[in-house]
Structure 1
Amino acid sequence: MIFGYARVSTEEQNLDMQIDALEKFGAERIYKEKLTGTRRDRPQLDELLKVLRIGDKIVVYKLDRISRSTKHLIELSELFNDVGVDFISINDSIDTSTAMGKFFFRTIASIAELERDIISERTKSGLQAARARGRKGGRPTKKEDKVEMAVKMYKSKDYTIREITEATGISKTTLYRYLDKSYKGC
């Protein structure tokens, strides 16, 4: 089956041009949405993704109608590939049932992977540089006297967890983590 997906960003915009192009292409069922592309929740797109079967085709007027970002487009193309669905963008002349269409998506996927790797390398370098300057990441450590007091209160069995956390400012999770360490050290 050939499914169409049409989206405009606001209620005032018109879907007619996209619908005409999708119908001309042969879309048997068209999912229509009037939502900004940056929104994560798109009910009609979600519905479309639920009904896909091997051999189906998804047709859009332009790539930016179906995806929020390059990353999202790649995620969708991987999903389509896994399900065995061809993806076609009329205006961009992309058809993943052809060798060039598959090449296009592999190229985009490679570029996105490169971008992720570069970001990861920059982050690691930044953390390394911060450590070299004596900065340490992560959550700040709790004051030892407060931790010791919380552990003593707990071990005395005279206080509830709530009383201990209120008196010391140590969270229940942190208290249990330090208790676990103190018992393992015994």
Structure 2
Amino acid sequence: MLIGYARASTQDRRLELQREALTKAGCPRVFEDKVSGTRADRPGLAKALEMLRDGDTLVVWKLDRLGHGVKQLVDLVDKLHARGIQFKSIADAIDTGTPSGRFFFDVMASLAKMERELVVERTRAGLEVARQLGRKGGRKPKMTDSKIESAKKLLASGVPPKDVAKNLGVSVPTLYRWVPASAHA
């Protein structure tokens, strides 16, 4: 059985073209969503996936209707294949029920894996260069050296920690993290 899935993004809420193409392709059932493809919760897709059985084919109008990003798309098609379900994209002329369609998805999966590995490699290289330049990752500390000195003086003169923290624009726990209670007792 051919099961259709149509999705309109939040910007373009028209599904008629997709619905018509899926019906012409022979889909007796078409499930729909009117949400962004980046959202994980797509009730129409969930219903379509639930209805699909071994030997069925999930049909979409275009690849981008099923998901954003190669990895997301390849992962979904891999899950379908594990269940014995094929995938077809009408406008892109892709059908994983054919050798050329399976080859296309194997190539996509390889490209997605290589892309992930390159991102990890570039990130590690960038962090290493930053470390060599003396940079630390993360957020800048709220407490500067001058704030720490001011806090110590104010606390030593008897100003309550709550007031010192408020004057410096930090919380009391942050104040105590940088100026432990033993330092001003």
Q: TM-score, normalised by structure 2?
A: 0.69
Any unmatched runs of 5+ in structure 2?
142-171, 178-185
**Deviation string, structure 1 residues 98-143 (Cα, Å, up to 9, x no partner):** 01101111111111111111111111111221222333446899xx
Cα deviations by residue, 1:6-36 (Å, 9 ceiling, x for unpaired): 1112487332221122112111211012222
Task: State the alpha-carbon separation in 1 of the partners of residues 115 and 12 from structure 2.
Answer: 36
The verdict on how the C-alpha distance between 1:10 and 1:128 changes in structure 2, with shifts beyond 3 A counting, is closer
Q: Which amino acid aligns with 1:115?
A: E
Deviations 1:152-179 (A, max 9, x none): xxxxxxxxxxxxx959745xxxxxxxxx
Q: Distance in 2 between matches of 1:114 and 1:70?
A: 11
Moved more, 60-69 or 90-99: 60-69
Structure 1 unaligned spans of 5+ = 142-164, 171-186
Question: Number of matched residues?
Answer: 148
TM-score normalized by the length of structure 1: 0.69
Q: Percent identity?
A: 46
Partner residue of 2:106? Answer: 106
User: CA RMSD for the aligned pairs?
Assistant: 2.5
List per-residue Cα deviations over 1:50-106 (Å, max 9, x = no partner).
232211110111111111222211111111121111000011100001011011111
Matched residues in 1 for 2:55 and 2:71: separation? 24
Distance in 2 between residues matched to 1:36 and 1:66, nearest whole Å: 10
Query: How many Å separate the matches in 2 of 1:65 and 1:166?
Result: 48
Change (3 A) 1:45 1:169: farther
